[in-house]
Amino acid sequence: MKKFILILFFLFLSNNIFAEIKVPGSGEIHYWGDFEEWYKKQLKKSQKKKQKLIFYGSTSEGGWATGFKIVKEINDKAHEQAYKRCMKGAKKYTQSECFLFAIDDKIVWTKIDEPVASANMNVEIDENDKKPGRFFEDQPDVNDDYQIHFNYLLAKDSEDRELDINGKMEEIILMANKWMEISTSKNKKGDKVPRKYKLDYRSDGKLDITFIRMDKNFKNLHKYANNSITPFLYKKKGQTNNKKIYFNFADINSVDGGEAGVGFGSIFLRNKSVGTDKRKAAIALHELLHTQGMGTNCIPGIKNNHYTNRDSRLMLNSVDPSSPRIGKIYAHDIEMCPQFMDSVYITPTRENPYDPYKIFCLFELGKYKHPEYIKVINKLKDAGRYNWKTRFGPSCSTRNFSKDSQGYYLLGVEGNILEKVNY
Q: Which range (10-24, 83-97, 309-323, 391-405) has the least confidence?
A: 10-24
Residue 6 confidence class, pLDDT cut points 50, 70, 90: very low
CA atoms of 219 and 330, how far apart (whole Å): 38
CA atoms of 195 and 228, how far apart (whole Å): 33
Residue 1 confidence (pLDDT): 53
Q: Kindly tell me if the per-residue pLDDT of 216 is higher than 50.
A: yes
pLDDT average, residue stretch 339-364: 97
Farthest-apart Cα atoms in the chain, separation: 91
pLDDT average, residue stretch 4-30: 57
Closest-CA residue to 422 (of 357, 345, 338, 363): 363
CA atoms of 171 and 153, how far apart (whole Å): 17
pLDDT average, residue stretch 76-98: 90
Residue 115 confidence class, pLDDT cut points 50, 70, 90: very low
How large a percentage of the chain has pLDDT more than 70? 88
CA atoms of 105 and 45, how far apart (whole Å): 12
Residue 4 confidence class, pLDDT cut points 50, 70, 90: very low
Residue 320 confidence class, pLDDT cut points 50, 70, 90: low
CA atoms of 191 and 196, how far apart (whole Å): 14
In whole angstroms, how far apart are CA 246 and each of 26, 39, 97, 148, 233? Answer: 33, 33, 30, 6, 9
For 226-249, write each residue's pLDDT tens digit. 989 999 999 899 999 999 999 999
Residue 403 confidence (pLDDT): 80
Which residues, other chains included, contact 37 with Cβ-Cβ below 8 Å and sequence gap of 6+?
none
Residue 398 confidence (pLDDT): 94
Q: Kindly tell me if the per-residue pLDDT of 122 is higher than 80.
A: no
pLDDT average, residue stretch 38-44: 94
How large a percentage of the chain has pLDDT more than 90? 68
* Residue 321 vs residue 123, higher pLDDT: 123
For 383-420, write each residue's pLDDT tens digit. 998 988 899 999 999 998 778 878 999 999 999 999 99
Q: Kindly tell me if the per-residue pLDDT of 19 is higher than 60.
A: no
pLDDT average, residue stretch 210-222: 92
Residue 33 confidence (pLDDT): 72
CA atoms of 340 and 165, how far apart (whole Å): 31
Residue 266 confidence (pLDDT): 98
Q: Kindly tell me if the per-residue pLDDT of 333 is higher than 80.
A: yes
For 131-167, write each residue's pLDDT tens digit. 999 999 999 999 999 999 999 999 999 999 999 999 9
For the ranges 4-18, 298-312, 341-355, 395-409, the maximum mean pLDDT occurs at 341-355
For the ranges 24-33, 83-92, 362-371, the maximum mean pLDDT occurs at 362-371
Residue 64 confidence (pLDDT): 85
Q: Kindly tell me if the per-residue pLDDT of 15 is higher than 80.
A: no
Handedness of CA 66, 115, 242, 209 (dihedral sign): negative
SS3 content of the chain, % helix, strand, coil (to 5): 35, 15, 50
Residue 205 confidence (pLDDT): 94
Handedness of CA 372, 377, 381, 385 (dihedral sign): positive
Residue 9 confidence class, pLDDT cut points 50, 70, 90: very low
Residue 400 confidence (pLDDT): 86
DSSP string, 186-207: H-TTS-S---EE-B-B-TTSSB
Handedness of CA 135, 140, 141, 142 (dihedral sign): negative
In order of start, what are the domains of the chain with their CATH numbers? 15-118 (no CATH), 127-354 (3.40.390)
